[in-house]
């Protein structure tokens, strides 16, 4: 009874989006780290490569946005246990990834390195760690507003936020609080958007799932076309950005697609096994893990035919290994907490 209740509460179709989002994080880091940025010269000399890189960006750049919208949809319920678990997860992986790197012969063992990873991760770690922590701390305030306000007013609030963010954060860039979406301020907007999508009955959000998927892919194709034109004429604009209105639109319809699909109950346990540890994939390619992840990507690129195919397989395997190793962290955390 308890397991069934938990499965239904988590909604495995949304949990599937959590898995997909983290896989896309790995894809975007591969795409940017290995293929580099698109340029005017690439449009002129290697147009097919340009389209490939831009298309991969179009499909994967909304990964972080989806993660935060999920938090807004379900709502973050402030608990000391959850807060400590979040901090423990990052600290544990900061130490474990160094040990893994040492075991693979990629670095020398250093107590200071482990201590820095585990204790200073909020200062020298991934930007996401601090931004999500700030969102977690502010969630009770936003929850109080969300629970009190009417759906229509919440919608106007979301529209006002994204109008301001688009104008001053994305177009004019004179509001550093947005910083391309790498801040908790943008996370707050996504959190409110997730809450609104849970309650809204707008017709444009009530389409069939196939149409939602078509919107996600269609907006992505528009981004590719705009990117080609802007690079060709030498107009530098961050078409791919966490706060780009096109990426926000893509995020909405990809989320709605997963919200409406039906997942057979026989896959519930498998999906929950990976979704509850999906964050570990980001942690596993942070700190010393950056070198581990890049080494695999570069080896494939330099030694195998059809490197893109093997790279996608490598990303899936990397994700699976991260989730399996995270079960060690969960076991340790349960014992520590008790």
DSSP code string of 99-136:
HHHHHTTSS---HHHHHHHHHSHHHHS-HHHHHHHHHH
Q: What is the pTM of this model?
A: 0.94
138 burial level (CB within 10 Å; 0-12, 13-18, 19+): middle
Mean pLDDT, all residues of the chain: 93
Question: Nearest-CA neighbor of 241 among 58, 47, 78?
Answer: 58
pLDDT, position 32: 83
What proportion of the chain, given as a percentage, has pLDDT over 90? 88
What's residue 234's pLDDT?
85
Quick one: pLDDT at residue 53? 94
Q: What is the reported pLDDT for 287? A: 94
Query: Which of 107-121, 202-216, 258-272 bottoms out in mean pLDDT, i.e. has the lowest?
Result: 107-121
In this predicted structure, the answer to whether residue 164 has a pLDDT above a threshold of 60 is: yes
Q: Name residues whose C-beta falls within 8 Å of residue 166's C-beta, 6 or more positions apart in sequence.
A: 243, 245
């Amino acid at each position: 009874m308890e397991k069934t209740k938990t499965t239904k509460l988590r909604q495995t179709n949304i949990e599937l989006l959590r898995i997909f989002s983290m896989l896309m994080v790995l894809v975007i880091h591969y795409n940017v780290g290995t293929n580099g940025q698109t340029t005017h010269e690439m449009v002129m000399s290697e147009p097919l490569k340009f389209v490939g890189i831009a298309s991969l960006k179009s499909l994967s750049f909304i990964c972080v946005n989806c993660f935060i919208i999920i938090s807004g949809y379900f709502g973050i319920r402030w608990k000391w246990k959850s807060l400590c678990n979040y901090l423990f997860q990052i600290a544990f992986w900061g130490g474990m990834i160094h040990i893994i790197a040492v075991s693979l012969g990629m670095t020398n063992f250093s107590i200071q390195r482990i201590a820095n990873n585990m204790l200073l991760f909020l200062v020298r770690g991934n930007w996401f760690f601090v931004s999500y922590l700030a969102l977690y701390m502010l969630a009770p305030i936003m929850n109080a507003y969300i629970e009190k306000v009417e759906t229509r007013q919440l919608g106007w609030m979301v529209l006002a936020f994204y109008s301001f963010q688009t104008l001053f954060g994305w177009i004019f860039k004179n509001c550093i609080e947005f910083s391309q979406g790498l801040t908790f301020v943008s996370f707050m907007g996504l959190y409110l958007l997730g809450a609104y999508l849970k309650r809204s009955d707008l017709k444009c959000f009530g389409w069939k799932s196939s149409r939602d998927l078509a919107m996600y892919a269609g907006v992505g194709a528009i981004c590719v076309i705009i990117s080609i034109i802007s690079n060709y004429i030498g107009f530098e604009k961050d078409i791919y950005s966490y706060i780009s209105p096109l990426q926000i639109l893509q995020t909405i319809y990809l989320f709605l697609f997963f919200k409406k699909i039906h997942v057979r109950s026989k896959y519930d346990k498998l999906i929950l096994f990976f979704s509850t540890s999906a964050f570990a994939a980001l942690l596993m390619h942070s700190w010393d893990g950056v070198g581990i992840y890049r080494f695999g990507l570069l080896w494939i690129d330099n030694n195998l035919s059809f490197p893109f195919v093997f790279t996608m397989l490598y990303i899936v395997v990397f994700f699976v290994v991260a989730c399996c190793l995270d079960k060690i962290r969960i076991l340790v955390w349960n014992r520590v907490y008790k």
